[in-house]
Amino acid sequence: MEARVADIRAGKAAELVWLLEHPALYTAGTSAKEDDLVDPILPVFHTGRGGQWTYHGPGQRVAYVMLDLKARGGDLRAYVTGLEEWLIRALAGFGLKGERRNGRVGIWIDQGGGHESKIAAIGVRVRQGVSYHGVSLNLDPDLGHYRGIVPCGISQHGVTSLAELGIAASMDQVDAALRQNFETIFPAAGEPGGGL
């Protein structure tokens, strides 16, 4: 990923989004607090992305987004807002209302009665104007694995998935929703609407 970012920055490679699934593991962002690694029941990796602790594993779609933000106006806040909107629109395709929360990064589902849970996480980094790392969306991961960490440093809310919400979506269907909505949020740099 870092090699691709360097090539994008040097003009040797095109922007790219990788869609992948990780084996079960915990990753620590640059703001992770050691106390939030409650029970390391899985392998632990320290990454260079922003954010705190998160879980990745089978049943979760991870998207690494490598875009030339300089060519798109360089607004990091607008970029993160764009990632949130991308996830919100993808979830809408499954009949879910994903929402932002002030002071909390990621996408949330209001489950009623004052209960809300995170369904998608965002953790990015930018090097010389090119973004990397990205987002994760829970389809049907083992939600029990989250017990080993305080996800994103937030202990007062839960974590959910499409499956837990009664939506049987395949990875191919989620990928199609992500692809369908990406270019509406992030048109190619230099095209109308291609800035952030």
Catalytic residues: 152
Q: What are phi and psi of 136, to 5 degrees?
A: -135, 140
Task: Please answer whether residues 1 and 18 qualify as being in contact, where contact means their C-beta atoms are separated by less than 8 angstroms.
Answer: yes
Rg (CA), the chain: 16
Structure tokens at 143: 């939600």
How far apart CA 148 and CA 36 sit, in angstroms, is: 8
Q: Write down the residue that tokens 């952030």 correspond to.
A: 196
- Dihedral angle, C-alpha 29, 33, 36, 40, nearest 10 °: 70
Handedness of CA 65, 15, 126, 82 (dihedral sign): negative
Residue type, 141: P
| CA distances from residue 63 to 47, 135, 144, 157, 182 in whole angstroms, order as listed | 15, 5, 22, 23, 11
